A and B are shown apart, each in its own frame.
Chain A
Amino acid sequence: MAEQVLAADGTPLKASLNRALRRQKMRALLLIAPLLLFIMLTFIIPIGQMLFRSVENQIVGDTIPRTVEALDSWDHDADAVPPAPVFDALAQDLMVAVELKEHTRLGSRLNYEMSGISSLFRKSGRKVDDIGEVYTDQFVALDPAWEEPATWVGLLADPKWIAAREAWDGTGDEPAFIMSRAAKTVLPQTASIYADFARVIQTEDNDSPAEEEPWHVVYLALYNDLTANPSLEVTGPLSGLVSSAATAVPSFETEDVVATFEGFDDDWKNPEVWETIYTYSPAYTNGYFLNSVDLQKTNEGVAWQPENEQIYLTLFWRTMLMSMTITISCILLGYPVAWMLANLPARKANMLMILVLLPFWTSLLVRTSAWKVLLQNQGVINDLLVWIGFVADDNRLALINNATGTIIAMTHILLPFMILPLYSVMQTIPVTYLRAAKSLGATNWTAFWRVYFPQSVPGIGAGSILVFILSIGYYITPEIVGGTKGVFISNRIAYHISSSLNWGLAAALGAILLAIVLALYWAYDRIVGIDNVKLGG
């Protein structure tokens, strides 16, 4: 056995070295940690959160939970429109949502999927507080005690809450309402809507459920509970009141809630509205992603959007096509310049390099404004063309607010990103290869095409991916010089964020764009290596 080598302090050398290595790793990580944390917090998490929005759809389930639950029992084939209990549930949900001012938000969410729903919700929201009034009147006629808030509290509140409320000294907020467990089992629907009522009264109106008469829909719920289970029994002092009500309800005049809703708006009879609500009731949806590729969810599965609403595939395709055109123009314009720079003596090359680097360093907005000014109908370029007689004065070229404008301006803006990587690759190609090819009898063209060009391909690859990545995510330049025909997918994302407020769709479009860019970036890393990115020569 070989003798163990010891370090100066007597520990085995191997262990000592390992420790040193570990310490070194720790030190390196400690130096990186602050920045990593910073980037995570200010950049990665925001993007992750945004991407999450593309599948998030809690709003439907959160705003109209009872309706979503009741819709499960809806037999799509047998009934065009859901059965009455769904409408009862909707009346209760809508009442709560109106009080919390959430129904318009839900309306605009569902409006992305089917136009018209927004106004449907707004309209119904204004009248929903009348639903159930028939039952309120009859319960009160039966026994005026039903009008008393105290009756409801006695029936439904947990004794703990009543005690807490009595102990409360009146300063600050009233203790939050607690529903009694017995009421939840005996009067499930009533308990559920009353709990919401108490919450709304306490948080929104800063009032007490012990002093407010409940909404009409609470009476509707009580009626439903009593008819569903006529033999129910409530313990305590109010049992008589409830049992007499239970015997009276079968003779109550009823309200057809379905008809009431249809009275609000005919659209409640429209099966499509219900299909939309049903389709978008789960908490997570792929609907935004489907929409961003011109598909939509229907009850028969995934289908194409109507012809006139199919815009995103075209837009993605156009973004790709224009980015490719820009990349190719950059190759065509960049290659000769890079060749020239690589083959001139250093002093001259440095002078020319300034002409490439100055645009690179110039503000993007300066370059965009320059093109906006130059390409105008009455701008310098058109003036020049008219002056040399290339075009007639009354027939000036439309160079701006279309795809041409975007391509010209973006080629100019991205050209340095092509020239710089090409130049750095070409610099490494020895000139002697070309001379050798020529001395072996190759023509100039053959020498270039068979010897020089293949060696410059890595440069073309690196430059192309770089230009392509930058160009498909461009926003500013297309927005200013692109008009309507020359805009990219980014402009649509910005539109959905700031104008249409369809954030989920914006997030889905962004996620797709990001996936494309990351795939290209991965390829770039493979070909060039991210460490080899050079800035400014």
Chain B
Amino acid sequence: MSLPIYATTGQKIWYYSFRVIVGLILFFLIAPIIIIIPLSFNAENFFTFTPKMLALDPEGYSLKHYRDFFTNPDWIRPLKNSLIIAPFATIISVSLGTLAAIGLSQSHVPFRRGIMAILISPMIVPLIISATGMFFFYSQMGLWMEQTFGISKSLSGYIKVILAHAALGIPFVIITVTATLVGFDQSLTRAAANMGATPTVTFFRVQMPLILPGVISGGLFAFITSFDEVVVVLFVGAAAQKTLPWQMFTGLREQISPTILAVATVLVGISILLLATVELLRRRSERLRGMSPS
């Protein structure tokens, strides 16, 4: 849609103003995320640019909010909790989700639509409803676990949150892995079987390497879902399971401290890393399957 040489003045004006409009919209999308990065280096406890910062005076900038993030137990504990809960939830979602996605992609699956609807439901149901439902059920389950297996309150708390987050992450794994399996050539497994490979060997040596990119991006989605989740953990978890988003949420609702901006900046960094990984994986997967990456 480049501008032809014979374009009239009106067309030229429209062409450029349209680009400006799109540019503004993209600015609206990206600016709030970018702007918190310099703000997080503010030497004062303000949420706006101080005159010193605008003058690019080095004294206007400092790392004190980052120091607070990495030394204050109010932030360290939630960070640790998030790093405990998210990986376990991811492992559960990925292992069960991949198996189910492989099952779903077979040619004859009875009740495929219904099963799919149930498996996707954690993504569709509003989080507040999931959280409410889980609140009642999991508190009973926690008591039951504590009484039957004699595990501590804190451990049962972690188990509850991990299970809840695993359920929320599953739709993402299902969707990404089924999408990858659409391009998977089933004759490869037949060929492997023909050459004497057992189903297990076929799965690990033929199918898995090919769908691995899809599995990993599904896993990353599941990880970010758990790492970013606040509503469910707020209802299901106890104070001992306070995660990073929970701490941010409390901070935002009650007393907002500039450390939140430092935390946000770190999280933006993590998102950029994840986005890059998913994008690379997607391209690799398309190349493996013989499509031209777009």
Interface residues of A (CB under 8 A from B): 21, 24-25, 27-32, 34-36, 38-40, 42-51, 53, 333, 336-337, 340, 343-344, 346, 350, 352, 354-359, 361-374, 376, 378-380, 383, 412, 415-416, 431, 444, 469, 472-476, 479-480, 490, 493-494, 497-498, 503, 506-507, 510, 513-514, 517-518, 521, 525, 530-531, 533-537
B271 x A31 contact (CB < 8 A): no
Say how far B263's CB is from chain A's closest CB, in angstroms.
Answer: 8
- Stretch from B61-69, B124-132, B148-156, B190-198 forming part of the interface with A: B124-132
From A39, A355, A493, A521, B26 is in contact (CB under 8 Å) with: A355
From B46, B126, B134, B268, A514 is in contact (CB under 8 Å) with: B126
A362 x B33 contact (CB < 8 A): yes
* CB closest chain-B residue, reference A434: B1
B29 x A363 contact (CB < 8 A): no
B290 at the interface (CB under 8 A from A): no
From A30, A380, A510, B132 is in contact (CB under 8 Å) with: A510
Q: How far is the CA of A333 from the CA of B29 in the complex (A)?
A: 10
The prevalent SS among residues of B at the interface is helix
Known: A42-B167, A370-B264, A493-B132. A35 touches B99 (CB 8 A): yes
* CB closest chain-B residue, reference A496: B132
Q: Give chain B residues whose Cβ lies under 8 Å from the Cβ of A533.
A: 175
B164 at the interface (CB under 8 A from A): yes
Q: How far is the CA of A358 from the CA of B267 in the complex (A)?
A: 12
* CB closest chain-A residue, reference B245: A365
Q: Give chain A residues whose Cβ lies under 8 Å from the Cβ of B86.
A: none
Q: Which of A344, A376, A498, A535 has the most CB atoms of chain B within a 10 A radius of its CB? A: A535
CB contacts between A and B, total, < 8 Å: 272
B204 at the interface (CB under 8 A from A): no
Q: How far is the CA of A480 from the CA of B230 in the complex (A)?
A: 13
B129 x A513 contact (CB < 8 A): yes
The prevalent SS among residues of A at the interface is helix
B29 x A359 contact (CB < 8 A): yes
A365 x B110 contact (CB < 8 A): no
Q: Give chain B residues whose Cβ lies under 8 Å from the Cβ of A27.
A: 103, 106
Q: How far is the CA of A28 from the CA of B170 in the complex (A)?
A: 18
A365 x B164 contact (CB < 8 A): no
B172 at the interface (CB under 8 A from A): yes
From B18, B99, B118, B126, A472 is in contact (CB under 8 Å) with: B126
Say how far A12's CB is from chain B's closest CB, in angstroms.
Answer: 20
B79 at the interface (CB under 8 A from A): no
Q: Give chain A residues whose Cβ lies under 8 Å from the Cβ of B231.
A: 475-476
B167 x A340 contact (CB < 8 A): no
Q: How far is the CA of A536 from the CA of B132 in the complex (A)?
A: 29
From B138, B230, B256, A372 is in contact (CB under 8 Å) with: B256
B85 at the interface (CB under 8 A from A): no
A43 x B30 contact (CB < 8 A): no
* CB closest chain-B residue, reference A520: B124
B126 x A513 contact (CB < 8 A): yes
B103 x A514 contact (CB < 8 A): no
Known: A42-B166, A369-B264. A24 touches B138 (CB 8 A): no
Q: List 5 A-B contacts (CB under 8 A).
A: A24-B108, A38-B166, A51-B133, A356-B26, A361-B275
* CB closest chain-A residue, reference B21: A336
Q: Give chain A residues whose Cβ lies under 8 Å from the Cβ of B260.
A: 369
Known: A39-B119, A383-B49. A367 touches B32 (CB 8 A): yes
Q: How far is the CA of A535 from the CA of B222 in the complex (A)?
A: 12
From A333, A358, A469, A517, B28 is in contact (CB under 8 Å) with: A333
B109 at the interface (CB under 8 A from A): yes
Which residues of chain B from 35 to 82 have any CB-CB distance to chain A below 8 Å in the complex? Answer: 35-36, 39, 46-49
Classify chain B's interface size: 35 or more
B278 at the interface (CB under 8 A from A): yes
Beyond A357-B279, A378-B46, 12 additional pairs, beta carbon < 8 A: A31-B99, A34-B100, A35-B96, A46-B134, A49-B137, A333-B28, A365-B230, A365-B252, A370-B35, A380-B49, A480-B253, A514-B126
Say how far A129's CB is from chain B's closest CB, in angstroms.
Answer: 32
From B21, B35, B275, A380 is in contact (CB under 8 Å) with: B35
B104 x A343 contact (CB < 8 A): no
B163 at the interface (CB under 8 A from A): yes
* CB closest chain-B residue, reference A347: B294
* CB closest chain-A residue, reference B199: A27
Q: Give chain A residues whose Cβ lies under 8 Å from the Cβ of B230.
A: 364-365, 476
Say how far A447's CB is from chain B's closest CB, in angstroms.
Answer: 13
Q: How far is the CA of A513 from the CA of B133 in the complex (A)?
A: 13
A473 x B137 contact (CB < 8 A): no
A379 x B47 contact (CB < 8 A): yes
B91 at the interface (CB under 8 A from A): no
* CB closest chain-A residue, reference B37: A370
Say how far A363's CB is from chain B's closest CB, in angstroms.
Answer: 5
B206 at the interface (CB under 8 A from A): no
Q: Give chain B residues whose Cβ lies under 8 Å from the Cβ of A31.
A: 99-100, 102-103, 106
Q: Give chain A residues whose Cβ lies under 8 Å from the Cβ of B96.
A: 34-35, 38
Q: Give chain A residues whose Cβ lies under 8 Å from the Cβ of B19.
A: 340
Which residues of chain B from 88 to 118 have any CB-CB distance to chain A below 8 Å in the complex? Answer: 92, 96-97, 99-100, 102-104, 106-110, 115-118
Say how far A48's CB is from chain B's closest CB, in angstroms.
Answer: 8
Q: Which of A46, A49, A50 has the most CB atoms of chain B within a 10 A radius of its CB? A: A46
Known: A46-B133, A336-B25. A379 touches B228 (CB 8 A): no
Say how far A67's CB is from chain B's closest CB, in angstroms.
Answer: 28
B271 x A358 contact (CB < 8 A): yes
Q: How far is the CA of A21 from the CA of B279 in the complex (A)?
A: 38
A336 x B18 contact (CB < 8 A): yes
From B102, B116, B131, B249, A531 is in contact (CB under 8 Å) with: B116
B210 at the interface (CB under 8 A from A): no
A34 x B99 contact (CB < 8 A): yes
* CB closest chain-A residue, reference B36: A370
Known: A476-B249, A494-B128. A412 touches B22 (CB 8 A): no
A39 x B167 contact (CB < 8 A): yes
